[in-house]
Structure 1
Amino acid sequence: MLVRTETTLTHAGARVALDAALERAEEVGGAFNVAVTDAAGTLLAFARMDGAFAASGEIARDKAWTVTAFGGLPTATLWDAISSEDAVRDGIGRRGRVAAFGGGVPVVVDGSLVGAVGVSGGSAAQDADVAAAGASALAARIAESSVAVPGVAVPVGVAAGHRPSREETP
């Protein structure tokens, strides 16, 4: 195979995830930054809540990027995978954009990574909760229809937060 076709999140789909994450952030309390990327890690949507630290914006973008750079691995899971091995942790930690702590989750459609949600501004657990709310809302929006949902190319079979296995990854 010399070329392949990939499904990826669009801006409209990213807005669904962004809006849901912001709604959850309001419920959690605090000031968060929320970033949504496509499958390549390119920023599609971003919001900085009033009072959120400016530095957290870049961290949120890096969390979403990290998920896509590591094939859909949630950032908290990445930390779990590398934290016990000093050399691996230090090596990955020196990679500028890698954010290996909670708050980055994948958006998966029909077993394919289509994007990611990254959140920063609270604890790692709060960030992960807000990010998961965004990804889950998008998954629910896609699943509730058997026809194409504006913003997402593949409308069925979504598993937000699912990490694709090697067999599922093209």
Structure 2
Amino acid sequence: MNNKIALTLDDAKIIAAASEAEARRNNWPVVIAIVDDGAHLVYLLRLDNTQFGSVDVAIQKACAAIAFRRPTKVWEEHVTDGRLRYLGLPGTLPIEGGLPIIVDGQFIGAIGVSGVRSHEDAQIAQAGLNAMLKS
């Protein structure tokens, strides 16, 4: 029996709303991208006055987080530690701000945030995940 959990549009909206609230609380202009477990875009939110370059970066962060089932901060730390070979790993993005979405041990998607400092992007993404887990 297959008991696969899927990321729904309603889930994505909950995540995005909480992430947006965190960004607005701090006056951070960002793009919030949410993808499903196949790295297909489910939801995209670009706050006013956010640089357009952050659109692709947010999507890539989300795709990298689900493709490798880990936060993008992992690769940032590897590169910072001098392990530059990770720069050549296809599909990775060594910039914090991409987090997988895990429910009952299943990877159902990911969120990527871009627009401010990478640890602030991650803070926004985490706020979205926290809201989903509470709902």
TM-score (norm 2): 0.91
Counterpart of 1:84 (choices 81, 96, 106) is 81
Counterpart of 1:29 (choices 10, 17, 27) is 27
Q: Which amino acid aligns with 1:7?
A: I
5 Å matches for 1:101-116?
A: 101-116=95-110
Q: Which amino acid aligns with 1:75?
A: T
Q: Which amino acid aligns with 2:25?
A: E
| 36 and 90 in structure 1: CA distance in 2 versus 1, 3 angstrom threshold | closer
How far does residue 80 in structure 1 lie from its aligned partner after superposition?
A: 1.8
C-alpha contact (below 8 Å) 2:62/2:111 kept by paired residues: yes
Q: Per-residue displacement from partner, 1:25-46 (whole Å, max 9, x unpaired)?
A: 0012121000011111111001
C-alpha contact (below 8 Å) 1:28/1:126 kept by paired residues: no
The alignment-based identity, stated in percent, is 28
CA RMSD, Structure 1 to Structure 2 (Å): 1.8
Counterpart of 2:115 (choices 99, 118, 121) is 121
C-alpha contact (below 8 Å) 2:60/2:112 kept by paired residues: yes
Counterpart of 2:58 (choices 43, 57, 60) is 60
How far does residue 120 in structure 1 lie from its aligned partner after superposition?
A: 0.2
Distance, in Å, in 2 between the alignment partners of 1:47 and 1:32 is 8
TM-score (norm 1): 0.73
- 1:137 corresponding residue in structure 2: 131
Distance, in Å, in 1 between the alignment partners of 2:84 and 2:3 is 36
Distance, in Å, in 1 between the alignment partners of 2:118 and 2:128 is 16
Distance, in Å, in 1 between the alignment partners of 2:31 and 2:87 is 26
- Does residue 16 of the first structure (1) align with residue 10 of the second (2)? no
- 1:100 corresponding residue in structure 2: 94
Q: How many equivalent residue pairs?
A: 135
Distance, in Å, in 1 between the alignment partners of 2:47 and 2:88 is 32
C-alpha contact (below 8 Å) 1:107/1:139 kept by paired residues: no
Q: Compare the two structures and name the one with the higher strand fraction.
A: 2
Q: Per-residue displacement from partner, 1:64-92 (whole Å, max 9, x unpaired)?
A: 10000102x00112322454354522312
- 1:165 corresponding residue in structure 2: none
* Ranges of 4+ aligned residues in structure 1 off by more than 6 Å: none
C-alpha contact (below 8 Å) 1:116/1:135 kept by paired residues: no
Distance, in Å, in 2 between the alignment partners of 1:100 and 1:27 is 26
Distance, in Å, in 2 between the alignment partners of 1:6 and 1:51 is 38
| 125 and 87 in structure 1: CA distance in 2 versus 1, 3 angstrom threshold | closer
